[in-house]
Each structure stands twice: as C-alpha cells, then as structure tokens.
Structure 1
Amino acid sequence: MAAAVGAALCGVLAATPAAAVAAPGGPVTVSATKASPARYNGDCPVDVGFAATIKAGPGSKVKYRWLYEGGKAGAVRTVLVKGRQVTVWDRRTFTADTRGWQALQVLGTRRKTGAKTTFRVGCHGPVIVQSGSTPAPVPTSSPTRKPEPSTPPATAQPTATPTTSGTPDPDPVKVTATATGITNGNYEGSCWNPRYWTTSGTLKVSRVPATVKYRWVDSNGWKSGEFTQEFAAGGATEVPVKYEEKVAFDTRTGWRAIEVVSPGAPTLSNKVDYDIKCTDATDAKVTVTALRPSYDGVCPPPTGDPGVGDLPFTVRIEAEKTPAIVKFRRIWNGTPGPVEEVRLNEPYRTFAAHKPITGAGTVTLAIEVNGVRSNTATSTVTCQNGPLPEAEAQVEKVTAPEKAEYLYYCGWNPDYRHYLSGAITAKGPGRVPYRWVIDHGSVKEKSAVGYVYFHGQGSQTQHAVWATQPTYNASASVWLELFPDTPKAVTSNVGLYRAVCRL
C-alpha cells in the first residue's frame, strides 16, 4: 500500500540542537511509544494520537522531539518533570492510506530513543477476506466504516512519588490574529452619504484542523457579532478575514481590532487606527421659542386632556452652508443631553421639542452647537388645585399659517411644518376646551380636544404645529373651535394656506 503521510501537528521540522537541558535529578529514560488507534480502517481525514513516558529526577527539564518514518524529526520541545515521570503526546492527521512509525527521542549529552510504534491508516471500507473456496460475501449496501478498537495510550506507573502529569489537549491550537487595515480609515471629505467601511485582517492557527471564533471590536465600545472560521485538515493555516459595513461617517478618531473568542481565553489583536474628518459639518444659528410661555392649571394635567400635558417649544437651526451636518445638544433646565444630528439640504430646519408638565416651576430649553449656546426659552407652570368649570370664552384672532403661501418643489420635503396660533379670551375663571380644524375642501383634519385654564378674566394664546408634505397645487383653511361638538361652540376667523408647486 502506498504511503501518504498527513500533516504532522507537532510543529515544523527542526535541526538537532548542539546541547540540551540536563536533568538535575539522575538518569533519564524514555518508554516505548503507543499509537491510538494503531490500526484504522474508515473515513478520512482521521487523527492518530501518540504517547510516551519520560522518567527523570524531580524538577528536571528535559528536551525531546518526535521521530517519524522517512527520517523526519519534529520540533524540539522542553517539558518539566514535576515528580519522577511525565507523559507527552503528539497528534497527526491523515487524509490518505498510510503506513508509518513514530518514536520519542530525548536529547542531551547522550540521546535516548524509545521503542517506536507502527501504525496503519486505511481510508476505505473494511477489507473482505476470501478464504479457501468460500466466495467473498457481496455487501448489499455501503458498509459502515468504523475505526478498529485500540488500546489507549499507556502511562507508566509512578514510583515512590505518583506525579503523572499531562494536559487534556496534547497540542492545543494557538491562534494569531492580525488587523491589517481599514478602507476609508483615514478619510477627510463629505460625510453626507453613508460609505463602505471595511476592516481587514488575518487569522493564523498553529495546526489544522481547527475552529476559531472571533469578532471585531472598536475603541468606542462597539463589538460585532461572533464569526466562525473553519480550518480544514490538510488546508491552509492562515486565512484573510474582513468586516464590511455601510455607515454614516462622523468626525472621530479611534481604532479597531480582532478579538479571538475561542479557543482559549479571549485575546485582542494589534490595533489599526482610523481618523475621520467631515468637511460638511458646520456651525449654525439656532433660535428656540416657547410656544406656551405659561401654564396655569391642574398639575399634572388631568388624564383625558390631550394636548395640555406638554410644554411645546420650537427649535430653528440655520446652517452657514448647505448641504450641512449640524451636531447639537438640547439643554433642558441647564442640563446638557446627548449629542444629536440634523442634516440640512435646505437653508434651515425647524423641529418641535416637548417637556411634560409635572409640577410648578419653570422649564428652560437652549440648544448647544459646537460649544456655543443659543438663546434660552422659558415656560412657567402655575399649579391649581381641583378641577375648574368651563369658562365663557371667545376666540379673538387666529393667525394665518407660517409660510401661508408655498411656492417650491412639491413632494421633496417630508417634514414641512406650519406653526399656528390663536388667542382665546375668557370672561372669568374656568376651563375652555378647544381644537384645531384644517379644511382641505374635500377632507377636514381635526386635532384632539385640548384645554386651556383660566383663573380669572384674561387672554391666552394657543399654538399648534401642522406638518404637511405638499404634493400638488392645493389650498386649505385653518381655524380654531371652542367648546367643539356642543351647542355653545365658537368658531374663530379663518387662516388661509395655498401651495403652488413648481415643475
């Protein structure tokens, strides 16, 4: 049978050293090598294990190597004899029919080689033997391939001090991870559109077959999910790996690396740095307005009074240039919040901010852009005990929507907002229900019913935000209703809105 030797897993071939570590505690002996399984017939690839025992004085450091058929020698290794003997192992993987032998050699001023063991690997089904005139049986199906039973590696019995030692895995896989680079890792330019960001690296194992679990990590605390890399028997011991993602860049610096999760304890590779500079980040002018400068009513507002429980503010951000990316923080009552981002294609953007009414006092809001704070808008809350009856009231004036005439491209801005206001005057204390109505001609939009509270004669201005996306030439009427759906309903004047779409 032709021999085909599989990959030896004990390391690269090494030249014989000129000297070896001497054993301080007496003579060194080496046992015969045992193979398991010594005879194998079945599916391949298959691992064959080898074991031999070294006897020496306690505390001795012994250098040894494995010898193979064909005059080959493995790498030189050193083992510490803690008692009077130690068992060492080796493992080889075979992918084809093989006949061979293996023995352990101890190095020193005088080399000692233990008796070798022979083994045979058959990568096929069981052999059917024909004896005399009896014909060989013909199998009706594919035979089940099983390794022949064998004796496990023998370990010599200890002498006076029983200290046989060893490890569960005689040749544990060692993994070397290397991060090699980041595509767009050093980038300066527009960050408006997401870009592909690819981190590359390599994984290298000390032997095959092997299974490696790993993930990618970032200096900002981010970690990818786990990935599994299989190294097949007889295959390459080093493979390239990469992690590709499409991300929205922002200005920052940091590093990325590969974390090997298993085998062994988690370890981190070298780090590759990145440096991102966004040239379309810009300063901006910010104006904050309190839409309800004061609230005078029950605290917290009664359940079922929609539209009353929040203090609404508007924030207008005007960029110095467009397109632009503006990073900002909301500062409620002097406490900065997390960094947020707004992307502007148009010269400015207006958005709403809200704070729930929880008790008496003042609520302030400012916006910080690049360390510079905007004006501070303030709402004052006065709390009253007990429910109030409905007050006699009227609407003095409803203003036309902001941007009452829209002359621009239609359908491009999904966040086009109008800000409405109407003054309500009460003749005495009480609660006044109201709602906004937007009449498109064929369809009427009605807001939820809200409430305004009076503790005497006076006037209060109510505000609303109307979001629309003009898609065609249209017009609408806007008004305020008091005491809606009741016999004493009061309707305000009408504010007009018109959209004329450019082609």
Structure 2
Amino acid sequence: MNSSRPLARKAAAFGASAAVLGAMVAGLAAAPAQASTQATAGKASAAATSTKARPKVSVSTPKASSRDNDGSCPVKVDISANINVKLDGKTDLAYRWLHGDGSKGKVKVLKLKGHGTKSVKIGQTLTFNEEVKGWEAVQVLGPRKVTSKKGYFSVTCQDAVVVDKDQLSSGKRISVSAWADPSSYVGPCTPGDKVNFLGRIKVNDPTWVKYRWVLNGRVVDYGRTKIYHSKTVSFGYSPRDSQRGYAVLQVVGRGGGSSSDRAYYKVWCKDEAPSTRVSATNLVTATNNDGCKVGAHATINSTGRARVEYTWYVNGQSVDSGVVGFGREGSRTVELSDRVLSGSATQGGRVTLAVSGPRNNDSISQSYAACEAPKPKISVSSLSVSGQRNEFCADRRGPGVDFKATISSTAPTTVKYYWVIDGKRENPDLERQVNGSVDVTWGIAGAQSASETKGSVQLVVFSPDSASAATSFSVSCPKPAGA
C-alpha cells in the first residue's frame, strides 16, 4: 500500500485524474502478467515473420471523441486510432496504449492474415472524475516497433446550468431544438447507426457555442462550434437490443445554457430472414485522361430487407464508403466519383467494391486503363498575303502571290497539312514539327493573260487534329511609269 504513495505524487505532478492513477496502481500489480503477455506477443510476432521480411506498419495519431470535454464529471472520453499493416500472409499484431501520466496499458495481440494493406481500428474509453489535460499514444510492438504521435485532449468539469429557453445571462439569445431520425426503427440491430439525433442551435449574434448530447440521462457526446445564425449538430446511436428512450441537446457554459425538448425514439430489434443475402455486380471503371482520374459505378443487390455498408478501394486503398438500405429485395447503383491518380497508379490498376450485409460479405474488382496524354489541340490563325512577285507581269501575267499562316499546338507534335487555292489542292501532304506555334508559307505563280491574280486560299490541317483557315486575295501588277 505504501509503495503506491510515491506513484500517486508522480501522477499528481503530471495532472493525472483519479481514474488514470487507479489504472497505474493496478498496472504495477499486473506487471508480471503484462510482461508475460508482451513476451508471448513478441515470440508470436517473431515466429510469424521469421521466414520473410517483417510487414510495414504505420499508426495514426490517436483521436479523442472530443478533444475539449467541457461538462459535468465524471466524463468518459473515447480514444481511437488506426493501425495499418501491409500483409503478405499471416502475422501477429501486438500493441498497447501509452498514457500521458507515464503508465502503459496491457499488451493486446491480434492475428492478421491476407494480402495487401489491412487497417485495424482500435479504441479505449477513459473515465475522469476531475479536470485534466493529457494525451494518449499507441505503441506497436510487433511485427515492427512503431509509436504513434501523441493525441491530446482535455477535461473541464463544470455543472450544466439550464436557464429559460431563448435567453442567456450574457444577453445573447439562443434556441435549441432536437429530433430523432427515424424516431421509430424496426430491423436488425447489427453494428452501425440506427437512430440519428439531429439538433439545431440558433443564436441572435455570432458566437462560439459548447454543447453536449444527453442520452437517457447520460452524457454521450460533446462539441464546440462557431455559429453565425444557426447550425445543425448530430450524433448517431446504434442500440443492440429493443428499447425506447430520449435524447436532449444542451448548450453549456459557465454563465448559463439552454436545453432542447426531449427527442424520443423507439427501437424494435427484429432479425432478418436467414435467406437475405447481399452481392456486388456490374462494376464498370472509367479513366478520365483530363487530369488523370478514375471513377466507377456498380450495383449492390439484396434478396430482402437489409442495411448494407460498402467501401470503395483503388489499388487496395480505401477511398470512399457509404450505406444503403433495402426495405425489400432490390438493387441500388452506387458511384465512385473521379479520383485523381498519381505515381504508379497512373499506369493502370484495380478498383474494388466491398459490401457487408447482415448475413454475408461480397466484393467485386475491375481493372482500369492507364492514363493517356491528352490529344494535342491544333489551331490555324493569321492566314494572309505575305508578298507579291511582279516579275510575272513582264510576260503579261498577273503577279505571283506568297501566303503565310500560323499553326499552333497545345503540346509538341508533328502536324500534317496542305494548301488549297480556289478550291483545288495544291500540294501533297506537308509536315512540320510544332511546339507552341510555327509559321508556314506557300506561293503561287501569276494568273495567265491578266494584270491581277485573285481568288481564295485555304490552309487545311488533318493530323493529329483537324483545323483550317481561309481567306480571299487580290493583287495587281504595278502600273507602268507615267500611265
């Protein structure tokens, strides 16, 4: 018992709560068991990776359900993080939580198998009876030792003061309303939100507002937001059994607050028929060369009433997700909006849609084409007469005429073109390398038995794009001197 007193003083120096202090004392008693667990985890990890390179591991920064928790104590703070493991077979994932007071959580081991990157979401719930500022981190012990960045949070204990609706002591007016969507649910009570609670907070003057949701008398969510006129806030609830109850949205603060009426809900957990199955079909991918993007659409099918979660993957990486509901047998089309590709993904790859229903999972994959460089766009401009040659006039002919035009391209390319005079093609195919803009020229001899040469001229580009320009012309021999 005496051995815990220095530890208590150390915890107090760190500003630890009574709950975390209790965890530290309990941790001393459990140290041999934890050491044994850690050793077991290390052996299991080493055995799994002895014949091949250890998988790559990364850990996200832990995130609290609410970084600034302001309300009545005790307060429960949910902390979560993602561990990504690049698998090529089987491995054991061993990890533990590191606490801001210097203590360490119990080592936990998960068995993983498969190929590609697997994301594991881990979480814990901490209870605080007093104010505290702290952090949490995740330490992976195997198959590689990796420690995440620190995820910070704080707890401020205060009583929620509910005053007359639409009136704050500061002079600011506020109104709060809340409702359940749906207010009544009948169906399978599988993981995932069944009831969404929505609340609207209105103020007469822009201000920062701290709020919390109270579900059946228990604080379940916190938030802080800037409201200019009105804003909608929400949280989701996933009951595991049939029940009814209510939620209240409260605005809290040291100077006062406001509370909504009760938003009542009712849930009846009713299993689906065993035959209900879900599937993914008709996956179509499309590569958009304008910006190098990939998109897709597919069909989700269900043989009966079901709530189906789906996730889109591009080359094994999760990029989007959603939920569709079926009241009966049917099909729904889901889309993956264009995603910008980079690196090796621009050379082609695979898109996968994975679906999860109440009774089964399914997935479908389809390759997508590599991005191609956009086709150059060609334009012709500034077609005009650039000069005339009067030497033909001595033979009682009109002057010769020279023409010039500018060919432009949006990308380096070889341009093929020809000239047309008075509707007749003048020459075989001509070629020029164009990187930006280049001037091209053409000339014709003088007209027979005439003192002028006139008509129409056209420049036609036919590869790699089509473009043209045309104009009319008229030039005359100079008059003899003294005429």
Q: TM-score, length-normalised on structure 2? A: 0.28
Is the radius of gyration larger for structure 1 or structure 2? 1
Which is richer in helix? 2
